[in-house]
Structure 1
Amino acid sequence: MLAQTSWPGSGGTQQRVKLVAKAALPTRYGTFVSHAFSVAADASEHLALVMGDVRGGEPALTRLHSECLTGDVFGSYRCDCGEQLDLALRLIAAQRRGVLLYLRGHEGRGIGLSNKIRTYALQERGFDTVEANRELGLPDDAREYESAAAILRLLNVQSVRLISNNPKKFEALAKHGIAIHERVALPIPIRGENERYIRTKQVKFGHYRDEQD
């Protein structure tokens, strides 16, 4: 029987996350065990890549990675997402133990692929990422991390060494009962194409400043 768990949602409803399938996934970083999860509330699917035994006591090196087709797949320099994904997987592989949660539905901080491209057009006219979202009547950040915490609980990850520059991820995991042992820096080089994007994250979202100039 595959595992599932739930947590309180808005209006007192229960949002369920369920392990649907798992299988080995050999990659250029090494072999992970991939775990596919479904979230009942919005029919979203997330993927956990697990290396080594992450259950129980010792904090597990962990990355919550928001889906980004343009950066992760096509190597876009408008953001630093693809480079963050690559570095996080290399860090986990070097430790031979850890978890990367690939969170689907997080494209463009949760606004979706088409809207993200629409904001790119506005950024070419001088808007920053937050201003572009607001110009289109979209939220600054629509992502949720409750399901990520639920997945970690299903994997029996009790505490994490979180690979992230985003304070919201730390707050969300702590709120939902995942102990944070430490923050692991994610230094990514600033490029001319993404400097304003990175500075906006730092100024308007409070992201930590670990980048390599």
Structure 2
Amino acid sequence: MALTYGKIKEKDKPFYIRLHSSCVTSETLRGSDCDCVQQLEGAIKIISEKKRGILFYLLQEGRGAGYVGKARDRMLVQASYDQISTFEAYHFMGLKKDHRHYENIPQICDLLGIGNAQFILLTNNPDKIKAMDDLKLQVIQTEQLEFESSPFNSAYLASKQSSGHLLRSASHSTLRGKSA
């Protein structure tokens, strides 16, 4: 699903975009052991402030492993009292650390008439930056989305940071980061 904001046909300025995977536990049930809802709301806020952007809302729950994979991951992590990370749990279950795919994004951009546009990608995830590059989309800048951690998500954020996510600190963060 692509939710657009602003004048899409004007191609003289870059589009702020977010590739966001669904997270029912935080976005619907308000679970607090991840930063997904904060990332979603932060991206919407930036797109709204800039008056131009696209939110690609992707039904790829649990980094693409689905609801069952995500539920098993959460059970393992919580049973370990956060001694194993979400990435280690996926490994123990025989899953890749990330099953998501983005190959439909260029086709959606083409359908919107912006396939050759420039983009500012709202992400902390180097895999998303690489995916956009592999798909030959013109990402001219990235902007990080970081938020204050809580006792409930600090271990999760630390595991993201140790797996390469562009977080300044798992225990200290701000709404907007610097370009990466």
| TM-score in terms of structure 1 length | 0.73
* Match 1:188 to one of 147, 151, 157: 147
Query: Root-mean-square deviation (CA), in Å?
Result: 1.5
* Match 2:101 to one of 144, 152, 169: 144
The correspondence of residues 52-131 of structure 1 with structure 2, limited to 5 A, is 52-55=6-9, 56-104=11-59, 106-126=60-80, 127-131=84-88
Distance in 1 of aligned mates of 2:125 and 2:106: 15
Contact 1:146 1:173 in 2 (8 A): no
* Match 2:134 to one of 175, 178, 200: 175
2:162 partner SS: helix
The correspondence of residues 38-57 of structure 1 with structure 2, limited to 5 A, is 47-55=1-9, 56-57=11-12
Paired residues, number: 165
1:185 partner SS: strand
2:133 partner SS: helix
| Shift in CA distance, 177/153, structure 1 to aligned 2, threshold 3 Å | farther
Partner deviation per Cα, 1:3-44 (whole Å, 9 max, x = no partner)? xxxxxxxxxxxxxxxxxxxxxxxxxxxxxxxxxxxxxxxxxx
Distance in 1 of aligned mates of 2:33 and 2:123: 19
1:146 partner SS: coil
1:124 partner SS: helix
Partner deviation per Cα, 1:144-166 (whole Å, 9 max, x = no partner)? 11112322232233210111001
- The answer for the alignment partner of 1:155 in structure 2 is 112
- The answer for the alignment partner of 1:199 in structure 2 is 158
Distance in 2 of aligned mates of 1:176 and 1:57: 21
Contact 1:149 1:178 in 2 (8 A): yes
Unaligned runs of 5+ in 1: 1-46
Choose 78-87 or 151-160, whichever is displaced more: 151-160
Unaligned runs of 5+ in 2: 175-180
Q: Considering fraction of residues, name the structure with more strand.
A: 1
Q: Which has the larger radius of gyration?
A: 1
| Shift in CA distance, 148/154, structure 1 to aligned 2, threshold 3 Å | same
- The letter for the 2-side match of 1:212 is S
CA-CA distance at 1:140 after TM superposition: 1.0
- The letter for the 1-side match of 2:35 is D
Distance in 2 of aligned mates of 1:200 and 1:191: 14
Please list every run of at least 4 consecutive aligned residues from structure 1 whose deviation after the TM superposition is greater than 2 angstroms.
Answer: 54-57
